[in-house]
């Protein structure tokens, strides 16, 4: 992780390897997690902010996926994206690689060593079924984060893991708010399709979000005139 250097990845500054005092020193990100901003601080974001945040999350994950060997995050959730204020909007950085896995390029898949290691609310259906984790499993989790950006709600509220799992595995999905831009709503649905092969990869996701931003900018321009 120390060798990973990218604007949308939290920088590892150093580590403590003293017996019984293991620790990592990371760069400080002032606003905290996206989860905190959305669900505790209740910060009101306009759609320009939300889409720009979404774009940066995709860029951070895409960087990991494009490394040699590629890295799969395996625990994408709003708690693992940190934000700080910038002049124009926000800067977003991916954090917490505690579950990250190096992918075998011969299969484009990674077998998780534990029975289930992701967080249920953001967990892809194939992972709930204990199948192999792929880069598209990360994309599914991003889709749930994007739903959070649209809904300003915690995924599945206070439902138990077993209820969430049953809901997802029978093909049900969270209700996307009507006020969500149609292009972003369609993107969310693409991210959480049941078949991983039908989901965009992280590079395609960047392109799709950029199109959403362009459409939103055009709508704002028309509204002003």
What residues act catalytically?
75
Report d(CA 14, CA 19) in Å as an integer: 16
Largest CA distance in the chain: 65
Classify the phi-psi angles of 20: left when phi > 0, otherwise alpha if psi is within -120 to 50, otherwise beta.
left
Q: How many CA atoms lie within 13 A of 123 on its CB side?
A: 25
Question: 101: which strand partners?
Answer: 72
Residue in 198, 207, 187 with CA at minimum distance from that of residue 134: 198
């Amino acid at each position: 992780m120390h060798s990973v250097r990218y604007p949308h990845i939290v920088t590892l500054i150093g580590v403590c390897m003293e017996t019984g005092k293991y620790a990592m020193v990371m760069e400080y990100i002032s606003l905290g997690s996206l989860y905190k901003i959305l669900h505790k601080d209740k910060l009101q974001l306009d759609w320009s902010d939300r889409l720009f945040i979404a774009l940066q999350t995709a860029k951070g994950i895409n960087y990991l996926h494009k490394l040699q060997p590629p890295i799969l995050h395996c625990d994408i959730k709003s708690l693992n994206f940190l934000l700080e204020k910038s002049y124009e909007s926000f800067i977003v950085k991916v954090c917490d690689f505690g579950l990250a896995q190096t992918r075998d390029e011969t299969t484009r898949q990674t077998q998780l060593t534990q029975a289930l290691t992701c967080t249920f609310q953001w967990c892809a259906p194939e992972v709930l079924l204990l199948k192999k984790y792929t880069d598209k499993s990360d994309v599914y989790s991003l889709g749930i984060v994007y739903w959070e950006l649209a809904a300003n709600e915690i995924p599945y509220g206070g439902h138990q893991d077993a209820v969430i799992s049953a809901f997802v595995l029978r093909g049900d999905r969270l209700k996307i708010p009507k006020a969500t831009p149609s292009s972003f709503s369609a993107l969310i649905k693409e991210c959480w399709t049941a078949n991983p092969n039908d989901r965009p990869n992280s590079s395609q996701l960047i392109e799709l979000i950029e199109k959403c931003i362009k459409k939103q900018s055009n709508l704002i321009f028309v509204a002003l005139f």
